[in-house]
Amino acid sequence: MDYKDLVTLGIAFGLGLLVGLQREKSDHEMAGVRTFTLIAILGAVAGFLTRDFNNPFILPMFGIAVTALMIMANVIKLKKEPESSVGQTTEVAVLLMFAIGSYLVLGDQLIAVIVGATLAILLYIKETLHNFIDRLKEKDLAAIMTFVGISLVILPILPDETYGPFDVLNPREIWLMVTLIVGISILGYFVYKWVGKKAGMISNGILGGVISSTATTVSYSRNSKNSKTLGKVSVFVILTAVTVSIVRVIVEIGIVVPEKLPALILPFLILFVFMAVLSVILFYTISKEKNEEEMPEPKNPAQFKSAFIFGLLYGLILLAVAYTEEKFGNSGLYIVSIVGGLAKKDAITLSLAQSIKGGLETELGWRLIMTGLLANFAFKIVLAAVLGSKQLAKWLGVAMALSIIAGLLLMWLWPENWHF
């Protein structure tokens, strides 16, 4: 007896039961919990027969039989109830369930489980998904289509080779970083669309950090100048957004150079905790103040022009890092980090992470990324002072100055052997 096959049958039974429960709960007459469970087991058995008898025709014949059964069921239903509508969701789900059962035997079980679980989730969130789609505007659809074009059309056709001086410009690698940044931003944008405008101060700060901490700083600074009661609230939202942006930096480092993440992450986590404590303290100082202000709606984060400009900036920083390292040594890289942090925090983070992957020392690498991050903090102070109220500039200036001092102390005092 092959216990592995028994486990496969058990997985097929569980996936069929999971999807069938959802269909049964939706009162669907075509197929319920028993039918879906049997279909999944039938797919697994068809896979066993195909494997054991080494006959490639067994599986498609079972698939045709299942399709014929579904067609016959729909024909009978239409004859009994001519006015009834015939959908396709359950029928496609049945065929997919059969394929999943077969793939559990003949393919990768992990992929089969992921597809089965995804199918159950998609069927379960039908109403929520439809409501969300109904709320989409033309610019939201444009954001989706732009991201699809960036990630699924442009990225695959770009050459995966290095070009140019210093041999550091890889078109596919550069555009992959563009896809990453746009993907993170658009995720936050659609979470904003999901939770609505009145999400509360904490949610606004978190979403602002995921979408764009700079855009959040600009929006709330302007709002604070137009309303005398929003000064401290705006400070909290901006500070929270900037704090969350540190997590964004950590995620970017982890994606580009995951093998070095344990040696890089700890200083950023400590700075994040420090700023989170500042945010909590500020929150409790303003928690008694009532605020019904809506979060300013962010602009479409998937604009092709912005993505293209980010790609150019990322490539230029890669060249600047390579040139500075060769001509001026490590000390010159700090100037590049400061300028890059002022221009675009994500670009300098990703380019330096790529340099670490290419051989830049880890200890120097995280300090350069921290330098760019702190330069971006200073830029936020300037934005608040120029665009916001005096109250905002004072409170945010103090909070960000303390954060910059904390970051500088980490860079100066951090022992080389402190890492995960």
Q: Is residue 179 part of a domain?
A: yes
Quick one: average pLDDT of 157-175?
Answer: 86
Quick one: average pLDDT of 206-216?
Answer: 81
Q: Is residue 419 part of a domain?
A: no
- Residues 45 and 188 grouped into a single domain: no
pLDDT band at 229 (very low <50, low <70, confident <90, very high): low
Q: How many domains does the chain have?
A: 2
* Alpha-helical runs (H) found in 149-291: 155-157, 171-195, 201-211, 213-226, 231-256, 261-286
Predicted pLDDT at 298 = 62
DSSP string across 294-344: PPPPPP-TT-HHHHHHHHHHHHHHHHHHHHHHHHT-HHHHHHHHHHHHHH-
Average pLDDT across the chain, whole number: 84
Q: Is residue 418 part of a domain?
A: no
Spatial separation of the C-alpha atoms in residues 149 and 154, rounded to whole Å: 6
Q: Is residue 172 part of a domain?
A: yes
Predicted pLDDT at 345 = 86
- Residues 80 and 165 grouped into a single domain: no
- Residues 271 and 407 grouped into a single domain: yes
- Residues 216 and 362 grouped into a single domain: yes
pLDDT band at 266 (very low <50, low <70, confident <90, very high): very high
Predicted pLDDT at 249 = 94
* pTM of structure: 0.72
- Residues 107 and 146 grouped into a single domain: no
- Residues 202 and 312 grouped into a single domain: yes
Higher pLDDT, 379 or 283: 379
pLDDT band at 207 (very low <50, low <70, confident <90, very high): confident
Predicted pLDDT at 296 = 59
| C-beta of residue 387 within 8 angstroms of C-beta of residue 218 | yes
Predicted pLDDT at 10 = 92
- Angstrom distances, CA of residue 43 to CA of 21, 40, 90, 97, 354: 18, 5, 16, 8, 45
Quick one: average pLDDT of 103-107?
Answer: 93
pLDDT band at 129 (very low <50, low <70, confident <90, very high): confident
Q: Does position 399 have pLDDT exceeding 70, yes or no?
A: yes
Domain that includes residue 290, residue range: 138-413
Predicted pLDDT at 197 = 54
Q: Is residue 149 part of a domain?
A: yes
- Residues 265 and 368 grouped into a single domain: yes
Quick one: average pLDDT of 292-315?
Answer: 70
- Residues 275 and 338 grouped into a single domain: yes
Please list the residues that pair with 169 across neighbouring strands.
163
- Residues 117 and 143 grouped into a single domain: no
Tell me the range of 9-18, 140-149, 215-224, 387-396 where mean pLDDT is highest.
9-18
- Residues 143 and 71 grouped into a single domain: no
Q: Is residue 420 part of a domain?
A: no
pLDDT band at 289 (very low <50, low <70, confident <90, very high): low
Spatial separation of the C-alpha atoms in residues 202 and 238, rounded to whole Å: 10
- Residues 339 and 240 grouped into a single domain: yes
Lowest mean pLDDT among 229-238, 281-290, 365-374: 281-290
Predicted pLDDT at 209 = 82
Quick one: average pLDDT of 226-238?
Answer: 75
Predicted pLDDT at 84 = 60
The count of other CB atoms within 10 Å of the CB of residue 172 is 14
pLDDT band at 410 (very low <50, low <70, confident <90, very high): very high
Higher pLDDT, 11 or 133: 11
132, 157, 188 — which closes off a domain? Answer: 132
Q: Does position 206 have pLDDT exceeding 60, yes or no?
A: yes
Helix (H) or strand (E) holding 395: helix 390-413
Spatial separation of the C-alpha atoms in residues 127 and 248, rounded to whole Å: 31
132, 152, 170 — which closes off a domain? Answer: 132
What is the sign, positive or negative, of the torsion defined by CA atoms of 304, 310, 314, 315?
positive
Quick one: average pLDDT of 225-252?
Answer: 84
- Residues 145 and 271 grouped into a single domain: yes
Q: Is residue 273 part of a domain?
A: yes
77, 99, 132 — which closes off a domain? Answer: 132
Length of the chain: 420
pLDDT band at 251 (very low <50, low <70, confident <90, very high): very high
- Angstrom distances, CA of residue 392 to CA of 183, 200, 216: 31, 19, 13
pLDDT band at 326 (very low <50, low <70, confident <90, very high): confident
pLDDT band at 83 (very low <50, low <70, confident <90, very high): low
pLDDT band at 330 (very low <50, low <70, confident <90, very high): confident
